[in-house]
Every structure is written in C-alpha cells, then in structure tokens.
C-alpha cells in the first residue's frame, strides 16, 4: 500500500484525488418522447452515477453523459435494449485529465517570475488571485480589486473593478466560473480582464465604455468548488456547502437564484448536479452578487459565462414566454455570434434559454432581468462536445479571442442604449 501511494505521488496524484480511469462520455440521441423520459430515469439512478454533461432538452438534440467505468457495461446494455443511438465522445476520461495536468506542469516549469503569466495555461485559484494583484499594480488608475463577501469555506470573493472615476456609474457585471469545472471560463475571464486593462486608451470602443461606465468582473465566482476541482475532483460543478440531512455536498449556484426558483431544470435532491438548494440565495457566493448588484443600483448588464455548447442565451429560462425585450436581445445576440464566428469560424446558436437549450429555474440572468437588468446574457463557450469540460489549454487563447468581439458588441450596445 505504501509503495502504491509513493508511486501515485510521483505521478502527481494525491490520495484524496478522484480518478476517472476508463470512464467514458457517451453522446446519446433520443428519437421520441419515450426515450427522452427514459434518459430522465437513467439520470435519477444514483447507483449508476451517470453525470449529464449536456442534459436532455428536446428531440434530436444530443445528450452527453459521463459514465463511470464500473457502470459502463450496464448503461450501454440499457441504451441498446431501448434502441438508443449513441456514440463514444471520450474513450478514457483519465487520459484527458492526465494530459491537462501535464500541460499545467510544463507551464509552471517555464515560468520565470511572478510578473509573467501564461494565458495559454490553466491556473489554480491562488495563481489567479496573485495575478489579479499584479494587474492592479500594473494599472492602478483603472483597475482595483474589491471583496464582495466570503464563500462557504471562507475564501474571499474578489471582483475586479475597471473604472475611470465617478460613483455608482452605469455598470456592466461579468462573471466566470460559477460552475467550477468549466475551467475554460475562468481562463477566459483572466484573458478578458487583461484585455480590458490593456485596451483602455488604445481601443476606441473600450475607451468609450470606460469613460462613461464601470465594468465589474468576478473571475472565480465559485472559489470553493474551483479549489476542489484542483485538489480532489476535476469534474466538481457545485458549491461546497453542507446539506442538512444528506451525505451529498453542494448546491448548483446557477439554480439558486430567486427567479423561478425550484422550477423545471432544477432538482430538490441534494445529490443531484442541479440541486437548487434549501431556499433561494442560500449560497453565500450567490447572495454576495445579489447584495452587490442591489446595493449598487445601477447595473445595466449582467453577462454570466459558462461552458460548453457554443451558445449565446438570454432570458427566460424558467418560462417559455418571450420577454418584452426579446426582439432587441435576439438581434443583439445575432450580431454578437456573427462577429464571434468571423474570428475563427466557430458557430454559436442563440436565443432564450428555455427555447434554445432547456427550461431552467433559478438562473443568474433570469434573476438579473427580473430585477431590472435589461441586458442579461449567458455565454456557453467552446466546445460542442469533443472535449466538453476538458477543453485543452491550447484552445484557451483562441476561445477568449473569439469571445471578445461578442462581449464588446454587448457592452457597446449597453453604452449606446441607456435606460
């Protein structure tokens, strides 16, 4: 046993780290309503530990699910017996995780000083927080770091503020990493923060925005979950709060908002990846943003960045009826995804959450919209399923680069359409 632990340590594997050797990600397509219902039943079988990466939403839309190696044969037999069409997207999850870890190790080996930061690599929470301090030092007249609260495990909730002065000016809120395993989002948040800081005074649209408005960017919105993805379980999605009466930990922070709370697309089961929590805003990480936006009183746009699926979404998620601003939001989304695609040809779909992916109660942008923030959007970044949440670090900079014009389109529109 001791020899095994030494061997695993040499490989960079800690004894508390969950391994995914032989786990596969299957892409399943439901051909009829009965098969849709069966996929729902499959997800409720806790003993199978099936993890939906893309949830069942409508016929013909692929569903991605991670299946542990030990349950693979049983799940495939079930799919075959019910005449499902499916393919293997990821043959062995652990191989991708090992490659990701090795890539991070290589990046650290070439790091030369605290002031050099590899934007093409994934980073830990400590590395990101240290870099935020460097960004503030490099741009003291534009960037500041504020703390809006503490997480369940008492980690600081830091937000970067980009401002050229004034008090409670019209503001844009951006957040990344509310689902901790979506590492491409925190990495894109870092790249975007650096881009905003460098472009002010050089790029006319960025300069115009910051001459009149402030930008707030929370890069690590779920710090406990993010730290846990590095230390113990790379695929952890939720917060790390303890649930009374349950062995299962955490709440889905994007089902915890007071907008259609407890509705479709969320679960009352604490063991579910979409557990909505005991009540709206139960999570400190969510409550901190709610309190900040309410206290500020002049936030005009909320953009919450997720992965994966390549989509630009807007309210509603908890109801199918279009918002009063649907047409304007749809036209803006259309322009944004067009400008995004012009960079590398990456195709995004767009529309309301409910009509584009699935009904989802308790989401960030529905709460924001219902609380007077008209321009509320969610981005689902790369990819469309080849790597899912394990997007190679070689795609970080391309992803952030193509996302930038879409973000700029939204921010310029907010600037030019005051309300």
CA dihedral 111, 137, 226, 354 (to 10 degrees): -120
Beta bridge partners of 65: 26, 52
DSSP string for residues in 357-400? T---SS-HHHHHHHTT--EEEEEEES-SSSSTT---GGGHHHHH
Residue length, the chain? 419
Name the 3-class secondary structure at 317: coil
Which two three-digit tokens encode residue 161? 């503020």
| Nearest alpha-carbon partner for 288 in 122, 147, 124 | 147
In contact, 141 and 201? CB cutoff 8 Å:
no
- Taking the C-alpha atoms of residue 368 and residue 300, their distance in angstroms, rounded to an integer, is 9
Return d(Cα 203, Cα 196) in angstroms, integer. 9
DSSP class of residue 83 equals: T
Any idea what the Cα angle at residue 30 is, between residues 27 and 33, rounded to 5°? 155
CB of 218 within 8 A of CB of 174? yes
Asked if residue 175 lies in contact with residue 364, where contact means CB atoms within 8 angstroms, the answer is: yes
- What's the angle, vertex CA 310, arms to CA 308 and CA 311, rounded to 5? 110
Q: Which of 273, 285, 380, 402 is catalytic?
A: 380
Nearest-angstrom CA–CA distance, 314 and 333: 8
Q: Is the peptide bond before 94 cis (omega within 30 degrees of 0)?
A: no
Cα separation, 158 vs 69, in Å, equals 38
d(CA 248, CA 244): 9
**Would residue 380 show up in a list of annotated catalytic residues for this protein?**
yes
- Compute the distance between CA of residue 246 and CA of residue 13 in angstroms, rounded to an integer: 28
Q: How much of the chain is helix, strand and coil, in % rounded to 5?
A: 40, 20, 40
Positions marked active-site: 380
């Amino acid at each position: 046993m001791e020899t095994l632990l030494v061997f695993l340590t040499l490989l960079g594997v800690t004894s508390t780290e969950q391994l995914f050797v032989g786990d596969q990600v299957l892409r399943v397509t439901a051909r009829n309503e009965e098969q849709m219902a069966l996929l729902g039943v499959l997800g409720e079988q806790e003993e199978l530990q099936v993890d939906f990466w893309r949830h069942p939403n409508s016929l013909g839309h692929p569903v991605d699910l991670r299946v542990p190696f030990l349950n693979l044969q049983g799940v495939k037999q079930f799919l075959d017996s019910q005449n499902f069409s499916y393919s293997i997207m990821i043959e062995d999850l652990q191989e991708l995780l090992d490659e990701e870890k090795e890539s991070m190790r290589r990046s650290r080996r070439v790091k030369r000083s605290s002031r050099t930061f590899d934007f093409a690599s994934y980073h830990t929470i400590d590395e990101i927080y240290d870099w935020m301090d460097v960004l503030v030092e490099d741009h003291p007249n534009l960037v500041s770091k504020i703390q809006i609260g503490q997480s369940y495990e008492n980690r600081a909730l830091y937000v970067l503020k980009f401002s050229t002065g004034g008090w409670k000016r019209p503001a844009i809120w951006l957040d990344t990493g509310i689902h901790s395993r979506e590492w491409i989002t925190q990495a894109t948040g870092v790249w975007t923060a650096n881009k905003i800081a460098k472009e002010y005074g050089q790029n006319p649209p960025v300069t115009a925005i910051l001459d009149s408005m402030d930008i707030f960017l929370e890069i690590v919105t779920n710090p406990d979950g993010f730290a846990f993805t590095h230390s113990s379980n790379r695929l952890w999605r939720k917060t790390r709060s303890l649930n009374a009466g349950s062995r299962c930990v955490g709440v889905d922070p994007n089902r915890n908002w007071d907008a259609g709370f407890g509705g479709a697309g969320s679960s009352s089961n604490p063991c579910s990846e979409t557990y909505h929590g005991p009540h709206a805003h139960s999570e400190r990480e969510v409550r901190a943003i709610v309190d900040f936006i309410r206290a500020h009183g002049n936030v005009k746009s909320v953009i919450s960045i997720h992965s994966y699926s390549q989509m630009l979404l807007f309210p509603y998620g908890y109801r199918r009826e279009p918002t009063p601003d649907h047409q304007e939001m749809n036209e803006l989304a259309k322009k944004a995804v067009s400008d995004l695609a012009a960079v590398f040809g990456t195709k995004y779909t767009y529309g309301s959450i409910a009509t584009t992916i699935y009904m989802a109660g308790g989401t960030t942008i529905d709460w924001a919209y219902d609380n007077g923030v008209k321009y509320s959007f969610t981005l689902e970044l790369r990819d469309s399923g080849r790597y899912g949440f394990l997007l190679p670090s070689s795609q970080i900079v391309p992803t952030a680069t193509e996302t930038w014009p879409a973000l700029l389109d939204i921010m310029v529109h907010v600037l030019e359409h005051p309300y």
